[in-house]
Structure 1
């Protein structure tokens, strides 16, 4: 019997869940984490890493009028209330605006047809965000878990190669680290080299 902890990079899981058209809610996250367990495993804790949606007021790219992103912490707050779940929050930073693919395609089509490009409005842009602090928190918790000796195996659900130094550290301290292959996702080679075992979620 092995005591295990499951570490989930929320951005990674959410990306593949959306591609599979799954409803992304706390119950889905918990069910996916538990689907990685094998017979005989004892779950110590699910650690979930993500950011709350950006909140704040910024200026729109064309009209320069203010646009407010309201605060919304309901998802992570609800997930944190689930049994054996701990939520670690990073920060989502606003990094400006970028033209949407549809807007760029419309401009290209107009130019190719010899027509003047359509006027650009605020609706032609989408907000660009950058997630900060998530991989750092995963790495710190992996190290802390190894120091505590609370588990025998750490299951890591991520595609982030920035975690390789933390994975190497945990393995050097004598702990097994497993990666998770989600449906239609294969663990990349660079990450596979620093994992001991491979688990899979066979079906959503």
Structure 2
């Protein structure tokens, strides 16, 4: 048996960390629109596919430590839409209802831990979509041609990346797991990935088929996406 094969443990304890906003956007674009329950079941099934892995050609046994899911609760405030010139009660929207139900289904799942950041409600605003803005600039459409779908709500997340980074550090320092799988496309986790590797953690990145920046790619132990549907080119 080679030295590499001798290194493989009989059972690898794996924690899976999911950047929720990133997963939901990517899944919607690649796997289509689904009900809250369907999306929650899909996420659970997808995460567990990471537990079926071969290392050095050896089928490895994984034990799931926990699936950590990071996201922000939906906003329930009233906000003015300058295009329709109306106040919108966000708590009555389909988006609010879908997200609330989705989180409730995740809470019911075994081995799931939800970590909430916050949405910057005070900075929430409506803005034109990028496609619509370009059409206005090149004269393809006029301002009076704008429709409600051309205006989208923009709310920035706060605290999600910080919570992911803290959990990576805690898992690594306390030696609670052998492997961390991070489902995200964010390069802000370079420091956390480096720390985990220094502590002997096998750090796997799953960008769901999205491009990975070189500075993050340099500091991971493996790159793995478990569904070929995510690997469809982003080019139109």
Which blocks of at least 5 consecutive residues in structure 1 are unaligned? 112-116
2:26 to 6, 16, 20: 16
Rounded Cα–Cα distance in structure 2 between residues aligned with 1:160 and 1:181? 8
Q: Is the 8 A contact 1:156 1:180 kept in 2?
A: yes
Partner of residue 36, structure 1: 50
Deviation at 1:119, TM superposition (A): 6.6
**Superposed displacement of residue 202, structure 1:** 3.5
Q: Point out 4+ residue stretches in structure 1 off by more than 4 angstroms.
A: 119-124
**Structure 2-normalised TM-score?**
0.74
**Secondary structure in 2 aligned to 1:118?**
helix
Residue 118 of structure 1 aligns with which residue? 144
| Residue 147, structure 1, aligned to residue 167, structure 2 | no
Mean Cα displacement is larger for which, 59-68 or 126-135? 59-68
> RMSD of the TM alignment (CA)?
2.4
Per-residue deviation, 1:61: 1.5
CA displacement at 1:203 relative to structure 2: 3.8
Q: What TM-score does the superposition give when structure 1 sets the normalisation length?
A: 0.84
Q: In structure 1, the residue corresponding to 2:197 is in which secondary structure? A: helix
Equivalent of 1:88 in 106, 115, 118:
115
Inter-partner Cα distance in structure 1 for 2:134 and 2:212: 33
3-state DSSP of counterpart to 2:200 = coil
Aligned match of 1:114: none
CA contact (8 A) 2:68 2:115 kept: yes
Residue segments in structure 2 that go unaligned for 5+ positions in a row: 1-10, 54-59, 230-236
Q: Which one has the bigger strand percentage?
A: 1
8 Å contact kept, 1:61–1:122: no
Please identify which structure carries the higher helix content.
2
- Separation in structure 1 between the aligned mates of residue 149 and residue 14 of structure 2, nearest angstrom: 47
